[in-house]
Amino acid sequence: MNLSRHFPESHIALAHGNGGRLMRELIESLFAHHLKNDLLDTAVDAACLPITTGAGDIMMTTDGFTVEPLEFPGGNIGSLAVHGTINDLAVSGAIPLYLTLNAFIEEGLEVALLDRVLESMAQACRESNVSVVAGDTKVLRRGQGGGIYFATTGIGIRPSHLKLGMQQIRPGDAILLSGSVGDHGTAVLLAREQFGLSGELNSDSASVLPICQALTELAGLRFMRDPTRGGLATVAHEMANATQASVRLIETQIPVLDPVRMVCEILGYDPMYLASEGRVVAVIDPATSDTAIEKLHALGYTDAAIIGHVEVGRAQVILQTEIGGERILQELEDDPLPRIC
**Residues numbered 37-66 forming contacts with a copy of itself, rule: CB under 8 A:** 37-40, 42, 46-47, 49, 51-55, 58, 60-66
- b/e string for 257-275 if b means 16 or more Cβ within 10 A? bebbeebbeeeebebbbbb
For a copy of itself, which residue of 4, 6, 10, 324 counts as binding (CB under 8 A)?
10
Residue 193 engages a copy of itself in binding (rule: CB under 8 A): no
* Number of residues engaging a copy of itself in binding (CB under 8 A): 85
Which residues lie closer than 8 Å to 174 by C-beta, 6 or more apart? 283, 284, 285, 286, 289, 306, 308, 309
For a copy of itself, which is the closer residue by CB, 11 or 161?
11
Shortest distance, position 304 Cβ to a copy of itself, whole Å: 27
Residue 9 engages a copy of itself in binding (rule: CB under 8 A): yes
Residue 144 engages a copy of itself in binding (rule: CB under 8 A): yes
Angle between helices 111-128 and 77-91 in degrees, nearest 10: 30
Q: Element (H or E) spanning 213, and its range?
A: helix 209-216
Residue 195 engages a copy of itself in binding (rule: CB under 8 A): no
From the list 133, 179, 171, 128, the residue with the least C-alpha distance to 153 is 133
Cα–Cα distance, 162 to 175 (Å, whole number): 19
For a copy of itself, which is the closer residue by CB, 88 or 285?
88
From the list 165, 191, 102, 187, the residue with the least C-alpha distance to 139 is 102
Instruction: Mark residues 146-185: x for contact with a copy of itself by CB under 8 A, - for none.
Output: x--x-x-x-x-x----------------------------
Cα–Cα distance, 190 to 270 (Å, whole number): 15
Residue 339 engages a copy of itself in binding (rule: CB under 8 A): yes
Shortest distance, position 250 Cβ to a copy of itself, whole Å: 31
Which residues lie closer than 8 Å to 265 by C-beta, 6 or more apart? none
Instruction: Mark residues 80-119: x for contact with a copy of itself by CB under 8 A, - for none.
Output: -----------------xx-xxxxxxxxxxxxx-xx--xx
